[in-house]
Amino acid sequence: MEPIKQNDFRGRLVPHFHIHISRSFSILLASRHFCKSSAGIYGPDEGWASAYPGCRERNQSPINIVDQDTKASTEYQELTLEGFDTESSNKTSMKNTGKTVAIMLKDDYFVRGAGLPGRFKAEKVEFHWGPSNGSEGSEHSINGRRYPVEVS
């Protein structure tokens, strides 16, 4: 499959939704610092800030992405999706998690490029949304604005 460039997301289906994905992904990759403990536990748990100082305060989810503070690098522009162009088997399923709807990807779907340090298997896609189209369902924001839906 051809690499996806950051600008390919813009203007498709729900413009703000796709802009949010591409900007968030670029910002997270630019940091090259993903905050997760070896036990797989994310903060804020007790002792989180002292155990992982790089993941506290402004570096902790949720984040607000400010346009004027972002810098685009060609290193983070191309994301390659592998396996997403083939028909899914009956192993892929949807699950109501109580907070989100998750698509559990059981087939071989991979992402690489865009500054990632290797090839990663995609296991699930989660949709977060608010109670109505005008509500703020996204966890993260762009320039202080939250959007009706977010994919993680």
What would the pLDDT profile of 3-37 be if each residue is shown by its tens digit?
444 444 333 322 223 333 333 443 343 333 445 44
What would the pLDDT profile of 95-106 be if each residue is shown by its tens digit?
888 778 888 888
* Cα–Cα dist 109/97, whole Å: 21
Does CATH number 3.10.200.10 belong to domain 4-34+60-151? yes
* pLDDT at res. 117: 86
* Cα–Cα dist 79/98, whole Å: 30
Percent of the chain topping pLDDT 90: 0
Domain borders along the chain are: 4-34+60-151
Please provide the average confidence, as pLDDT, over all residues in the chain: 69
| 79 alpha-carbon distance from chain centroid | 13
What pLDDT band is residue 86 in, cutting at 50, 70 and 90?
A: confident
Tokens 């002292």 found at: 50
Tokens 């289906």 found at: 13
